[in-house]
Structure 1
Amino acid sequence: MRVFKGVFGIYSGKKEVSATKLIISTALFFVLFGNIAFFQHVFSIYPISFQNIGFLGSLAVGLTAILTLFLTLITSRYTIKPTLVILLIISSFTAYFMDNYNVVIDDIMIQSILETDLSETSDLASWRVLSYLLLLGVLPSLLVQRVKLVSLPLKKTVLYKARDCVVSILILTVMIFSFSKFYTSFFREHKPLRYYTNPSYYLYSIGKYAADILSPQETGVMPLGKDAQVVKRHGEERNDRKELVILVVGEAVRADHFSLNGYERETNPLLAQEKIVNFSEMYSCGTSTAYSVPCMFSHYNRKDYSPRKGRTNENILDVLNHTDAIDVLWRDNNSDSKGVALRVPYEDYSKPENNSVCSDGECRDEGMLAGLDHYIDQHPGRDILIVLHQMGNHGPAYYKRYPEEFEKFQPVCRTNQLEECTQQEIVNAYDNTLLYTDYFLSKVIGLLKGYDKSHNTAMLYFSDHGESLGEKGLYLHGMPYAVAPEAQTHIGSLMWFGDEIREKIDVEKVKKHKDQRYSHDNLFHTLLGIFEVETGVYNNELDILYNPSFGLDLIGGNIRTMSK
């Protein structure tokens, strides 16, 4: 308790304290206790040495000056206490996740946090996070509340604020110019270091996210592919054989843990027995579900996509709907569709009311297959796309994601506090979850095989992003894409085709290109191609399965039917 009192300069609840002293004390508290991850990353690049000690000290002083300046500008006598309390509580959580999982709280992470449901939040609860909340949030907040602020006239308050701002700017300027050689590389070459400053970077990220949400937007959702229509194939009438495609959207599956990609452990034993095409070089659009899922269904490529564009434009499901020939169903065992399935039939399988395969509060992906036979039989003479959004390898509680019989690799990490487990225990739990995904995908294929005589059947599998498992101190996912490790962007992906569609797709030709680099950018156009949809938004160069014998060709940005 004395440590907190010393930092805050509070020794008695009766002593009056100036706003300046309270703000500087809080800023110093943030630097000393809330920025451990930041300084750990700084020390890895600028080790503590006689040559670096001055620069490292200037970073601490400069960060304190920046926070003092910011807090001085945004607070008044009447808002200072609630503002500091809110920041202390939030910063205690961000410190926990940065210290223990090495995550970055950017605008994409802010979006993910706001879209996280209760079950996902419960996976992150632990005694350790509560200790951070208590020591870095609650206790200093109580001390802030005890402070009696000096009452000053408005004129003096304004003058003192101006003085504090000027002094903070002068200190920051002196620090930068005194160690300009260091700061040149710090700002130009080591930008990711700033991602770990607390609370400054998450406040910037909140502002960036809010600006995107609150910016003027188009009325409604912009239509896309209204010209879409299903064309004839090889001279056949459309009512002969219909497409039945199941698209599985995986969760947090990294490519290098697929045995199909050469991983030393057998994590895909059942899929290895199927006639699948495995895409070894598939990359995600983002590093979080909230970003990747809308992006992968969007017609924008990764470089052009933004969450705002995802919200205000129709996606591939809408384009397929515009044909009036394709029925779309979304079943979800994750948090939700992240806005992708707002205009198509949607079913929530994350709760026992719909999912019959649940135990101990965990609903299995396998439950999404129940009743699909009935759905398919109720849509005769129609092409069908079914999207199954998995819980998959959702962390950090990997051990919850699979039934007991899939626990092949042992010992496993049986807690959501990954810092308490060895890296091997974490990997074991993660790989067991891959075994269950392998089983689930084999069940999907088994279901489709039952319709191979009546439909052109296919299964497409794309994970939404990858996952870090402790490499270089990184866990989970959500790093900014520019600095994210390949473990978070290089994803598992494969396809299976029924006997009747294999020749039309020319699977042997697809196999020849299966190891070239693909990404989520290809999904939109691949779905249009497999359903043989003619529309001006289709680009056959991005269609993984493009086959001229389908009767489609891209001419000047438009689709035309090729003459036979």
Structure 2
Amino acid sequence: MRIVTPKASFLTLTILLALYFTLIPNLPILLHFQRILSALGEYKLGFVISIPVLLLAALNFVFTPFSFKVIFKPFFCLILVVSAFASYAMLKYQVIFDKGMIENILETNSAEADSYLNLSVILWIVFTGVLPALLLIRTRVTYGHNVLMRLGMRLLSMLISLLVIALIAALYYQDYASVGRNNRTLNLEIVPTNYLYSTVQYVHKTYFTQKMPFRKIGDDAALVQKAGQKPTLMVIVLGETARAQNQSLGGYERPTNAFTAKENNLVYFANVSSCGTATAISVPCMFSDMSRTQFDNNKAHNSEGLLDVLQKAGISAFWKDNDEGCKGACDRIPHELVPTDSDKTLCNGSVCYDQVLLNNLDDKIPADGKNKIIVLHLIGSHGPTYYKRYPPEFRTFTPDCPRSDIENCSQAQLVNTYDNTIRYTDYVVSQAIQKLKEYEKDYNTALYYVSDHGESLGEKGLYLHGTPYKFAPEEQTHVPMEIWMSQGYMQANGVNLDCLKQQGKTQAFSHDNLFHTVLAMMNVKTKEYDPSLDALAACRKP
């Protein structure tokens, strides 16, 4: 049987590709418009018809410069496949591809990336990306005419597209302006221009912006604890993807904090905001001396941070990681990424439960009389494979959702699974506290727990995290924070526990507090310290 080879002119094929992108990869933005119009109640029929026409004209204008023979098929085959990934993420999770999301994607490790793969995403990519790309490869593209004629045809096609856009703007400018003012993410939802533009932004800033000189801070850092006072041993437990709304210590109806709730010396901070909505932003931000509004990731990666300052004061610092790395925060101190085959009970070769972070921790606490700080970076509640974050014995809330395509689980199953991750994290934090209690004879001990960002579980149609901060819902920015101190620590440092518990209930805090609070808790004096950002300052005796 003879297989027919499709044939089309370069202009026809460009328009067909623009039409395909309008209807398939851009289905998420068309559905978003449908939701917007449904909420409006009244709208012009012409405005509704103009939306896909405007999108088609705009895409044809953007695509036409890529219709030259040498780049036509390679370029469009690539963006067909990549756009299939992007459209799936937008359709299922309402992901917005700004520069921060591109940074988060590029810094994702292979184990985390694998957790997003499932049958539905593979089928979507095959049918909306791979098969159209194969069809394009097989299609014989005709160019004809001479070079000037082809160039003129391209310019004419682009001019017609511009005229269509101008006509629609003249007729419905007020409608688009009104919708745009109330839905500011729409310009970040057009595939493929959203991720292409954001990738160019990221690449330009990362590789083509003049590298700034490395910035040192805290050269004056010095330990100022009283003579004869026991050294301090502090553990920072850096959570992952835990949101405040699901913490029973904050009023949630389920016992998700059943283990730490038993600790009398633990303070829960109910109103804490994150620096970002993704690990790649929040982690370097909270360990830097910059506030959220001042934060610049490029500057942070070219600067010393909290752990550098503590080390300058003579404090022994160590970072142990079960997630995707410290994002630069631990580059100049001893650090370790837990091997995924390090414990047969807690690891399966690709991921470990967070309890593995407590293994061999005693080796990092030698009896040398030095002040010490240890950071434990959890994998916590990282989705979408929430069910892989807790052992079977912590499958408390059932039925859960043992799959990565979480949109196919019921809301109850999804919340059950997520709550199990929060409860297991709480257990790990409580075990870290028990470990610190073993050292109370030789150290004044303390623990600081905070999550890097929150998580959406289907509220407002959003899943996961990474929404641009100015658009992000509270579920992604409201995070839990806890501080536990031994009796010896509080006495030596003049901390009023009742005062601090009251502060935790009534005052607002953020990731901005970590840098300055930890400096003070470790008795380090430096000009970098800002007492107004020290969460314990109001409850500590001078």
- Shorter-chain TM range is over 0.9
Whether the 8 Å contact between 1:228 and 1:322 is mirrored in structure 2 is yes
Partner of 1:195: 188
Whether the 8 Å contact between 1:355 and 1:363 is mirrored in structure 2 is no
Partner of 2:338: 349
SS in 1 for 2:470: coil
Inter-partner Cα distance in structure 2 for 1:549 and 1:457: 16
Inter-partner Cα distance in structure 1 for 2:123 and 2:400: 25
SS in 1 for 2:185: helix
Provide structure 2 residue ranges, at least 5 long, that are not aligned to the other structure: none
- Which one-letter code corresponds to 1:82 in the other structure? P
Partner of 1:164: 157
Inter-partner Cα distance in structure 2 for 1:464 and 1:389: 10
- Which one-letter code corresponds to 2:79 in the other structure? L
Give the alignment partner of residue 312 of structure 1, picking from 292, 302, 313.
302
Q: Please state how far the C-alpha of 1:509 moved relative to its aligned partner.
A: 2.4
Q: Please state how far the C-alpha of 1:355 moved relative to its aligned partner.
A: 8.2
SS in 2 for 1:377: coil
Partner of 1:255: 244
Whether the 8 Å contact between 1:287 and 1:488 is mirrored in structure 2 is yes
Q: Give structure 1 regions of 4+ aligned residues with deviation exceeding 4 angstroms.
A: 547-551
Partner of 2:524: 533
Give the alignment partner of residue 477 of structure 1, picking from 465, 470, 477.
465
SS in 1 for 2:483: strand
**What percent of counterpart residues are identical?**
37
- How many residue pairs match? The answer is 534
Give the alignment partner of residue 356 of structure 2, picking from 367, 376, 380.
367
Partner of 2:262: 273
339-348 or 151-160: bigger deviation: 151-160
| 1:416 matches 2:409 | no
Inter-partner Cα distance in structure 1 for 2:42 and 2:365: 72
- Which one-letter code corresponds to 2:406 in the other structure? L
Whether the 8 Å contact between 1:356 and 1:367 is mirrored in structure 2 is no
Q: Please state how far the C-alpha of 1:350 moved relative to its aligned partner.
A: 4.7
Inter-partner Cα distance in structure 1 for 2:454 and 2:254: 18
Whether the 8 Å contact between 1:38 and 1:194 is mirrored in structure 2 is no
Partner of 2:443: 455
Taking a change above 3 Å as real, the CA distance of residues 472 and 49 of structure 1, as seen in their structure-2 partners, is: closer
- Which one-letter code corresponds to 1:117 in the other structure? N
Note the 1:188-337 alignment, pairs <5 A: 188-218=181-211, 221-231=214-224, 233=225, 236-237=226-227, 240-274=229-263, 275-323=265-313, 325-337=314-326
Listed one character per residue, the Cα deviations across residues 206-235 of structure 1 (whole Å, up to 9, x for unaligned) are 12211211233335531122221112x3xx
SS in 2 for 1:252: coil
Inter-partner Cα distance in structure 1 for 2:328 and 2:4: 52
Inter-partner Cα distance in structure 2 for 1:136 and 1:546: 57
Listed one character per residue, the Cα deviations across residues 285-342 of structure 1 (whole Å, up to 9, x for unaligned) are 111111111111111111111221221222111111222x111100000011112111
Partner of 2:508: 517
Inter-partner Cα distance in structure 1 for 2:498 and 2:6: 81
Partner of 2:12: 21
Inter-partner Cα distance in structure 2 for 1:117 and 1:242: 37
Give the alignment partner of residue 327 of structure 2, picking from 338, 355, 358.
338
Whether the 8 Å contact between 1:335 and 1:350 is mirrored in structure 2 is no
Partner of 1:498: 486
Inter-partner Cα distance in structure 1 for 2:167 and 2:388: 53
- Which one-letter code corresponds to 2:289 in the other structure? H
- Which one-letter code corresponds to 1:479 in the other structure? T
- Which one-letter code corresponds to 1:116 in the other structure? T
Listed one character per residue, the Cα deviations across residues 361-386 of structure 1 (whole Å, up to 9, x for unaligned) are 431111111111121125x1211110
Partner of 1:76: 68
172-181 or 154-163: bigger deviation: 154-163
Inter-partner Cα distance in structure 2 for 1:55 and 1:350: 56
Partner of 1:377: 366
Partner of 2:476: 488
What TM-score results when the alignment is normalised by the length of structure 2? 0.95
Inter-partner Cα distance in structure 2 for 1:434 and 1:171: 52
Q: Please state how far the C-alpha of 1:428 moved relative to its aligned partner.
A: 0.4
Inter-partner Cα distance in structure 1 for 2:87 and 2:6: 31
Partner of 2:37: 46
Provide structure 1 residue ranges, at least 5 long, that are not aligned to the other structure: 1-10, 552-564
- Which one-letter code corresponds to 2:102 in the other structure? I
Note the 1:55-66 alignment, pairs <5 A: 55-66=47-58
Listed one character per residue, the Cα deviations across residues 525-564 of structure 1 (whole Å, up to 9, x for unaligned) are 111111122212111100101269666xxxxxxxxxxxxx
Inter-partner Cα distance in structure 2 for 1:297 and 1:177: 50
Listed one character per residue, the Cα deviations across residues 109-162 of structure 1 (whole Å, up to 9, x for unaligned) are 111111111111111111111111111101111121122222342212221222
Whether the 8 Å contact between 1:217 and 1:312 is mirrored in structure 2 is no
Whether the 8 Å contact between 1:255 and 1:491 is mirrored in structure 2 is yes
- Which one-letter code corresponds to 1:80 in the other structure? F
| 1:391 matches 2:390 | no
Q: Please state how far the C-alpha of 1:93 moved relative to its aligned partner.
A: 0.4
Inter-partner Cα distance in structure 1 for 2:479 and 2:238: 11
SS in 1 for 2:108: coil
Taking a change above 3 Å as real, the CA distance of residues 61 and 350 of structure 1, as seen in their structure-2 partners, is: farther
| 1:134 matches 2:126 | yes
Note the 1:100-119 alignment, pairs <5 A: 100-119=92-111
Q: Please state how far the C-alpha of 1:50 moved relative to its aligned partner.
A: 7.7
Inter-partner Cα distance in structure 2 for 1:328 and 1:162: 62
541-550 or 183-192: bigger deviation: 541-550
Note the 1:419-434 alignment, pairs <5 A: 419-434=407-422
Q: Please state how far the C-alpha of 1:14 moved relative to its aligned partner.
A: 5.3
Q: Please state how far the C-alpha of 1:392 moved relative to its aligned partner.
A: 0.5
Give the alignment partner of residue 78 of structure 2, picking from 66, 75, 86.
86
Q: Please state how far the C-alpha of 1:512 moved relative to its aligned partner.
A: 2.3
170-179 or 152-161: bigger deviation: 152-161
SS in 2 for 1:491: coil
- Which one-letter code corresponds to 1:401 in the other structure? R
| 1:175 matches 2:168 | yes
Whether the 8 Å contact between 1:393 and 1:433 is mirrored in structure 2 is yes
Whether the 8 Å contact between 2:387 and 2:402 is mirrored in structure 1 is yes
Inter-partner Cα distance in structure 1 for 2:48 and 2:302: 45
Taking a change above 3 Å as real, the CA distance of residues 434 and 34 of structure 1, as seen in their structure-2 partners, is: same
Q: Please state how far the C-alpha of 1:251 moved relative to its aligned partner.
A: 0.8
Whether the 8 Å contact between 1:75 and 1:83 is mirrored in structure 2 is no
Partner of 1:5: none
What RMSD in Å do the two structures reach over aligned CA positions? 1.9
